[in-house]
Homo-oligomer: A and B are copies of this chain.
Amino acid sequence: MTRIRVINPNTARAMTAVIGGAARAVAAPSTVVTAVNPAMGPESIESHYDEALAVPGLLAEIAAGEREGVDGYVIACFGDPGLDAARELASGPVVGVAQAAMHAATLVGRGFSVVTTLSRTTGRAWDLARRYGFGEACLGVHACDIPVLALDDPGSGARETVAALCAEAVAADGADAVVLGCAGMAAFAGEVAGRIGVPVVEGVAAAVKLVESLVALGLRTSTRGEYAPPGPKRYSGILGDFTVPPS
């Protein structure tokens, strides 16, 4: 049995439910997925400010997961917030959904377009693409400018808007695959793929399969150097609970 914890780093429970559904839909029979979100932090992530402040809650969930013997983690926000810190804390592998989607897209196409929510987040998508090595494979990042929490509102027309933008993006970029750039689009992939005729990669599902794969391969984050567990440290104020005691 493989225990995978999928962490939605914002506090919107409805979105956590959608994400959990997408994760379970692709998980292997022997995988147990738990989808959680922190009790602290922003209700959605739509700026660097939100993203930075989502990390304490995310790390609290990783710490809880470690106490419960979780085998691997998915960070279910397309900015992959706190990925490096989470890797230090977790003994098993940690994969972000942007990372997972970009890795998978490069395995089925030459170059991908990203379709995301707000224009102000396109810079972050480019930063991640370059950080992961996909600065050339990423051919364009496009925003639909629908707020994150409106994505699953049936009245928003979000699916149609996203599908249409995906089609435009592929044509404009000369791409042969699409990456959906928000965990809130986790339920859209099949429908969009059906409409536009190229592979559409959704990060939550991709990340679950990559974590399962790493666990099956016996691969954990390296503890040599950068990702070694954080050393003992005293924390103050409202973050006092993050203190790392001497081991």
Contact = CB atoms under 8 A, between A and B. Distances in A.
Nearest to A62: B49
B132 A133 contact: yes
Contacts of A120: 225-226, 228
Nearest to A119: B225
Contacts of A233: 42-44, 46, 50
B176 A226 contact: yes
B214 A107 contact: yes
Contact of A239 (B44, B56, B198): B56
Interface of A: 11, 26, 28-30, 38-44, 46-53, 55-57, 59, 82, 84-85, 87-89, 93, 95, 99, 103-104, 106-111, 119-124, 127, 130-137, 170, 174, 176-177, 190, 193, 197-199, 201, 205-206, 209-210, 212-214, 216-222, 224-228, 230-231, 233-240, 242, 244
B217 A40 contact: no
A85 B132 contact: no
B235 A53 contact: yes
B110 A219 contact: no
A236 B109 contact: no
Contacts of A41: 235-237, 239
One complex includes copies of this chain to the number of 6
Given A43-B236, A107-B210, 15 more contacts: A28-B216, A42-B235, A42-B242, A47-B85, A47-B230, A48-B230, A51-B85, A104-B217, A133-B135, A133-B136, A199-B219, A206-B217, A209-B214, A209-B216, A210-B213
A39 to B, nearest CB: 5
A234 to B, nearest CB: 5
25 contacts: A11-B236, A38-B237, A40-B235, A40-B236, A41-B236, A42-B233, A43-B235, A46-B231, A47-B231, A49-B85, A49-B230, A52-B59, A53-B56, A53-B242, A56-B239, A57-B239, A104-B213, A106-B133, A107-B214, A127-B131, A133-B135, A176-B224, A198-B224, A199-B219, A201-B217
A22 to B, nearest CB: 11
Contact of A174 (B59, B216, B225, B230): B225
A114 to B, nearest CB: 14
A196 to B, nearest CB: 9
